[in-house]
Amino acid sequence: PTSAAFTVRASSYADELVKTAKTVASPGRGILAMDESNATCGKRLASIGLENTEANRQAYRTLLVSAPGLGDYISGAILFEETLYQSTIDGKKMVDVLVEQKIVPGIKVDKGLVPLPGSNNESWCQGLDGLSSRTAAYYQQGARFAKWRTVVSIPNGPSALAVKEAAWGLARYAAISQDSGLVPIVEPEILLDGDHGIDRTFEVAQKVWAEVFFYLAENNVMFEGILLKPSMVTPGAECKDKATPQKVADYTLKLLHRRIPPAVPGIMFLSGGQSEVEATLNLNAMNQSPNPWHVSFSYARALQNTCLKTWGGRPENVKAAQDSLLVRAKANSLAQLGKYTGEGESEEAKKGMFVKGYVY
Amino acid sequence: DELAKNAAYIGTPGKGILAADESTGTIGKRLASINVENVEENRRALRELLFTAPGALQFISGVIFFEETLYQKTASGKLFVDVLKESGVLPGIKVDTGTVVLNGTNDETFTQGLDGLAQRCLKYYEAGARFAKWRAVLKIGTIEPTELAIQENANGLAMYSAICQQCGLVPIVEPEILVDGPHDINKCAAVTERVLAACYKALNDHHVMLEGTLLKPNMVTPGSDSPKVAPEVIAEHTVRALQRTVPPAVPAVVFLSGGQSEEEATINLNAMNKLKTKKPWSLSFSFGRALQQSTLKAWVGKAENVAKAQEAFLVRCKANSEATLGTYKGDAKLGEGAAESLHVKDYKY
């Protein structure tokens, strides 16, 4: 070779990516993950006795995006493809409602997990085929950030192969997304399943994040224009020793300090089966002193659970349901600022939502 | 815990490292430049001049020794390590044994020194050393640095670091990308980011505890054959490269001067500390030539010049201390040679 290409990670969207990432990572705000696939959304609807029809999905998502003042606490909303192209029940485009609420629309772009051949019954994440044109189309439709969720399983190893594949897939997706003007949320979820202790989770998380950042760099991804969506460092769901929010915070912050370059603007934690209150308490514990990156939330179940149950599918319950969504959004907003006090939380909100072998 | 404590101490704002670890061959070149014979007594006298300079050590958190110096004493019989300890300065030790050409490359190198490293580190710890240094070298060319050179040097740094930590020494990780060449600052930035990413991957794979390490990188500058840029531009490119590659767990980044003049190195460090941006590690210095040049010129090997030389040394120490705080006003009394470039093409250390 007569010369080697060394880029400084500039693309035509560089400035916009940085701006979008900063907007989503703004103080006191976090992400509402509402990108459940149709199948998964079906499970949610079934839990309140509703049929999995497009109309019901539309009604539920309308309820969520129209909650008044949601944008005070929510900076971004991740949508499933159907929702990105949908209108609310009163005929406005979902993305337009979000933008009016000052919420940046995002889009799930992965195509789900499938078995990884040659591994120890582990999975890998699909979705790279045609990703370039899909992300370009999503940008046209109003999306400004993307999300791709891959998983790593501790009871199954994880094998070096699974970790490498997870990290490399994320890096490829991130590079392609940035090229199309979408800020990639990088999500390698280390599943809660298992009876391992918190030290084992920490060990695996260190390895996973080292791989992720190395491959992101290899793919010339611009770190000022990404967001992370990690799992907190906790014991496995079936571990006998529970960890206090302080312990979760200490371990998680240590991991972040050891693996996350300061150029990354925001770290938006997933809740992964924690109860609504647990997820809020843990986030609050992590924000008791300043961090080099915005440390916030990207919650689905931990924001929607009580809201969904309150709605129960009935139009007359919409306002009450929206109020309960706002209650959780506000609590997590306070947690992002390190000011959450936990007063007045309901029993429902404290219920764990871990499902063994959870298929998303 | 001791490792993290010592690493953090070295990065104390207002302090930095004096790199006085020139090998016998290299110090010979320095002495030759002021017409002083390269004998042990002269080497000892130079180092004594530096370590006993009145008021200088308050600005120094660590001194890197060459092996010979670790066991040397002042004229009145006090061990250099004790002189340092009394002033709260940590002794460090160069542990690599130099570079060797990588087969099949166009003069790229890797660094030797792993054989018997553990035993040597334990010995150095006993003698009072609390940190170590290992210099890996990379260069920018049409196809350089190659993947092989990056991997080999990153791996060497990681192995050395892991062994040091096992022996109680804080490893300084030094991947120097030489300034030689006609490339612009963007090329230097891209290469620096690539190299640092590979280094931290290797350190992580070797389970090195980042809280107990220090980084000694080059600043991001245009190549030596390329037009100069303002200190603010150097500062922005350098800090951005660090933000993209250095996890906050690393307590301090101690820059090498790599051929910049004394004043240049200080001004660039100052510009970095003035930048208003995310900097979770402290930014300081680990200077050899850029701390000693005007001192050497004032001394020229004569006992009657010692006080004058020590004053020159104090001036540079104080200036760099202010640079770590972003308060240097560029008003240091410039000794002879302070503004002189110290670049030597294809510098062999």
- Per DSSP, the residues of A267-324 read EEE--TT--HHHHHHHHHHHTSS--SSEEEEEESHHHHHHHHHHHTT-GGGHHHHHHH
| Structure confidence at residue A16 as a pLDDT band (50, 70, 90) | very high
B106 near A CB under 8 A: no
- Which DSSP string corresponds to B9-20? HHT-TT-EEEEE
Catalytic site residue B174? yes
> What is the residue range of A107's domain?
13-341
Q: What average pLDDT does chain A have?
A: 93
Q: Is residue A111 part of a domain?
A: yes
A151 strand-pairing partners: A189
Which of A6, A7, A262 shows the shortest C-beta gap to B248? Answer: A262
Quick one: what percent of chain A has pLDDT higher than 70? 95
Q: Is residue A1 part of a domain?
A: no
* ipTM at complex level: 0.82
Instruction: Write out residues 250-309 of A within 8 Å (CB-CB) of B.
Output: 254, 256-263, 292
Q: Which of B22, B108, B174, B263 does the annotation list as catalytic? A: B174
Query: How much is the average pLDDT of A288-302?
Result: 95
Task: Count structural domains, chain B.
Answer: 1
Which of A3, A6, A210 shows the shortest C-beta gap to B191? Answer: A6
B113-123 pLDDT, tens digit per residue, is: 999 999 999 99
Which domain CATH number covers B193? 3.20.20.70
Mutate to test the interface with B, among A2, A3, A6, A226 (most CBs of B within 10 A): A6
Residue A6: the pLDDT is 52
Q: How far is B143 from chain A (nearest CA, A)?
A: 5
* Contact present, A284 and A334 (Cβ < 8 Å): yes
Look at A1 and B191 and tell me if their CB atoms are within 8 Å.
no
Residue A9: the pLDDT is 59
A2 near B CB under 8 A: yes
B193 near A CB under 8 A: yes
Residue A354: the pLDDT is 76
- The residues of A carrying an active-site annotation are 187, 229
Task: Count structural domains, chain A.
Answer: 1
| Residue in A with minimal Cα distance to B141 | A3
| Structure confidence at residue A324 as a pLDDT band (50, 70, 90) | very high
Question: What is the Cα–Cα distance from B75 to B78, expressed in whole angstroms?
Answer: 8
Look at B187 and A206 and tell me if their CB atoms are within 8 Å.
no
| Structure confidence at residue A3 as a pLDDT band (50, 70, 90) | very low
Q: Is residue A4 part of a domain?
A: no
Residue A5: the pLDDT is 47
Instruction: Establish, for the pair of chains A and B, how many residue pairs have beta carbons separated by less than 8 Å.
Output: 72
Residue A4 has pLDDT above 50, yes or no: no
Look at B143 and A2 and tell me if their CB atoms are within 8 Å.
yes
Q: How far is A182 from chain B (nearest CA, A)?
A: 19
CB neighbours of A243 closer than 8 A, spacing ≥ 6? Answer: A198, A234, A235, A251
> What is the residue range of B166's domain?
1-325
Residue A2: the pLDDT is 41
Which domain CATH number covers A283? 3.20.20.70
Of the candidate ranges A99-103, A112-116, A293-297, A341-345, the one whose mean pLDDT is the lowest: A341-345
Q: How far is B88 from chain A (nearest CA, A)?
A: 28
B4 near A CB under 8 A: no
Which of A4, A254, A260 shows the shortest C-beta gap to B143? Answer: A4
Residue A345: the pLDDT is 76
| Residues of A whose CB is below 8 A from B202 | none
Three-state secondary structure string covering A19-86: HHHHHHCCCCCEEEEECCCHHHHHHHHHHCCCCCCHHHHHHHHHHHHCCCCHHHCEEEEEECHHHHCC
Give the single-character DSSP code of B92.
Answer: E
B240 near A CB under 8 A: yes
Q: Is the peptide bond before A235 cis (omega within 30 degrees of 0)?
A: no
B192-226 pLDDT, tens digit per residue, is: 999 999 999 999 999 999 999 999 999 999 999 99
| Residues of B whose CB is below 8 A from A259 | 204, 247
- Which DSSP string corresponds to A125-144? E---TTHHHHHHHHHHHT--
Q: Is residue A181 part of a domain?
A: yes
Give the single-character DSSP code of A93.
Answer: B
Q: Is residue B275 part of a domain?
A: yes
Exposure on the CB side of residue A325, measured as CA atoms within 13 A: 33
Q: Is residue B343 part of a domain?
A: no
Mutate to test the interface with B, among A258, A267, A289 (most CBs of B within 10 A): A258
Mutate to test the interface with A, among B139, B204, B277 (most CBs of A within 10 A): B204
| Residues of B whose CB is below 8 A from A214 | 197-198, 200-201
Residue A11: the pLDDT is 72
Residue B40: the pLDDT is 95
| Structure confidence at residue A350 as a pLDDT band (50, 70, 90) | confident
B201 near A CB under 8 A: yes
Q: Describe the crossing of helices A245-259 and A198-218 by its angle, rounded to 10 degrees.
A: 30
B138 strand-pairing partners: B177
Instruction: Tell me which residues of chain B have a pLDDT lower than 70.
Output: 335-337, 346-349
Of the candidate ranges A2-6, A199-203, A284-288, the one whose mean pLDDT is the lowest: A2-6
Look at B187 and A263 and tell me if their CB atoms are within 8 Å.
no
Q: Is residue A355 part of a domain?
A: no
Residue B5: the pLDDT is 98
